[in-house]
Structure 1
Amino acid sequence: MPSARPIPTLPKSGRFTLPPVLIGTACEGCGALPAADILAETLGAKMAVVCPASCAATFSLSYTGMAWRVPFVHWIFESAPAAATGLRHAYDARGLKDVHVVCFAGDSGTADIGFQALSGAASRNENILYICYDNEVAMNTQGQATSTSTPLARTPTTPSGAGLLRKDVPRIMAAHGIPYVATAAVSHPDDYRQKLRRAARITGFRYLQVLTPCPIAWGYPHPDTLDVTRLAVETGLWMLYEVDGGKWRVSHRPKRRRPVREYLSLQRRFAALRPREMQALQRRVDGAWRGVR
């Protein structure tokens, strides 16, 4: 049996470092690792993290080690924003208003299991930064479909392809009237950092959704995580934008969008798609961009 290759996305930030006991708890090529590392690198020591049950919780801590070098709360699936709300008010009561309280949660804990707590915290405009790292499946529980799964993607609970429409959580959050909403992707770290810095300067509820592919669930070679992510952006399937104070702005516009089939063909989860289904996804993408100025 060949020996395991090193994780190519092993974090190097001083605020997020996998101790020896946690190396191997993240899958090789995990897209959530660089998302966590960039977050820690950008916000630094003035941060406290609430992480519900998820892949990130798995690689963040064990009984004998922790990856985060800031206060870290491992919470239940359903109510990370509620825990973050309590933490925020506790810091405020102690006069520590400069500490960023951050939720770092997966798409299942955001768009499905924890959505009521997310919506409630947004409606109250709690002073929290919420980051959803989106790998489009509930990978912490073996890869079931979530409501952010790309339509027609094959998962253990949708073996013939996900028939649900993708829940557009960033737009839903923008409809709450919160001060800042953005999308990002680990293939575009400068864009992600810039949005984190902008969010850090704003008071109130802020929401970022970061595309973080999973090679295990999506079915592509581990070293290709950043290439797959970049192609999601360049085909237009994953639009990079922000809604700042109610003003919409696209932060990256592909000069010439590549065909969606190039992205789909790299992943086993789309291996059974017929040409007409690929064309249907292409029409969805074209329609989404048609109204973008």
Structure 2
Amino acid sequence: MAEHVAGCELFESGHRACGGCGPALAARLLLNATGENAIVVASTGCMEVFSTPYPETAWKVPWIHSLFENAAAVASGIEASLKRQGRSEKVLCVCGDGATFDIGVLCISGAFERGHDITYICYDNEAYMNTGIQRSGATPYDASTTTSPAGACSTGNQRPKKDMPAILAAHGAPYVATASISYPQDFMKKVEKALNTPGPCYIQVHAPCCTGWGFEAGETLNIGKLAIETGMWVNFEMENGEVTKVKKVKRKPVEEYLSRQKRFRHLFKPQRRDAEIAKIQAIADRNAEKYGIDIKKKE
């Protein structure tokens, strides 16, 4: 990992995140991996709000906030300036799924198409949490949000989760990866790899949100592990468009993951919706087949 003074965190405690906040842990792990030689560009979002209420900041590296949609463009300009000056700082974007999947996708596409040497980190908590838990392009199928509420005529969000890793791999990104805060060492190793890979790199880290998903704050890491163990989230690496590494698991049924979150409660109460649960199981099965995540049982 990046050289780091023992006991000295670059993401300071005392910020205003919820107890059990997944993105807060993602930020801490991220800076443990980057070390001090980093410049962070942040979009509007949960992490920006809870970590930098003026005049305070939890970031002990240079940190720049611009608009919801243009973090990648700002990072591109910083990277070009540093390159002109012959400086060695690493430039990172740290943005939520709303800024990444939806509002900022134009600027991200431009930065990756131009080949800027930046690392883009998306902390994916699967909705617009800061503004009221509205659905985003990252919201999973059947999740209930304030703009895709479950009820008598709806089972929640009816759109599939957008495949941002594939989109950015298609831009020619040399390194694309997914990670989870529930596997800290894996996430930090991937950040280091991205920083040491020339060109635009992308990491999407799964960051469960106890407030928006509806689970107890002490369960954050367990929920993240269940996402992987059921095939609802896959940890993998892609290099030059090819999948090179995947975390394999002994898969559990998706209802073990779904039943522990309020956003999927309507699938179980007041009566089970087996047809909908089966649709989500099929999504996990497709993930398993696509990435080959199943550990084969011994005969």
TM-score by length of structure 2 reads 0.90
**In the alignment, structure 1 residue 64 sits paired with structure 2 residue 55:** yes
**In the alignment, structure 1 residue 111 sits paired with structure 2 residue 110:** no
Distance verdict in 2 for CA 1:291–1:52, change over 3 Å: closer
Q: CA deviation at 1:86?
A: 0.8
Aligned residues: 276
> Which stretches of structure 1, 4 residues or more, deviate above 2 A after TM superposition?
none
Letter aligned with residue 115 of structure 2: N
Letter aligned with residue 109 of structure 2: S
Give 1:271's match in structure 2, choosing from 251, 265, 281: 265
User: Does the residue aligned with 1:291 lie in a helix, a strand or coil?
Assistant: helix
**In the alignment, structure 1 residue 130 sits paired with structure 2 residue 136:** no
In structure 1, the partner of 2:67 is 76
**In the alignment, structure 1 residue 178 sits paired with structure 2 residue 168:** no
Q: CA deviation at 1:201?
A: 1.0
User: Does the residue aligned with 1:141 lie in a helix, a strand or coil?
Assistant: coil
User: Does the residue aligned with 1:78 lie in a helix, a strand or coil?
Assistant: coil
Q: Any gaps of 5 or more consecutive residues in structure 1?
A: 1-11
In structure 1, the partner of 2:295 is none
Q: CA deviation at 1:13?
A: 5.2
In structure 1, the partner of 2:28 is 37
Instruction: Give, in whole Å, the separation in 1 of the partners of 2:104 and 2:241.
Output: 24
Instruction: Give, in whole Å, the separation in 2 of the partners of 1:157 and 1:63.
Output: 30
Q: CA deviation at 1:291?
A: 3.4
Contact 1:13 1:37 in 2 (8 A): no
In structure 2, the partner of 1:8 is none
Give 1:26's match in structure 2, choosing from 17, 33, 36: 17
Instruction: Give, in whole Å, the separation in 2 of the partners of 1:250 and 1:127.
Output: 23
Instruction: Give, in whole Å, the separation in 1 of the partners of 2:232 and 2:245.
Output: 14
Q: Any gaps of 5 or more consecutive residues in structure 2?
A: 1-6, 151-155, 268-272, 293-299
In structure 1, the partner of 2:195 is 200
Contact 2:234 2:287 in 1 (8 A): no
Letter aligned with residue 88 of structure 1: E
User: Does the residue aligned with 1:208 lie in a helix, a strand or coil?
Assistant: strand
Instruction: Give, in whole Å, the separation in 2 of the partners of 1:60 and 1:219.
Output: 22
TM-score by length of structure 1 reads 0.92
In structure 1, the partner of 2:221 is 226
Letter aligned with residue 184 of structure 1: A
Contact 1:191 1:251 in 2 (8 A): no
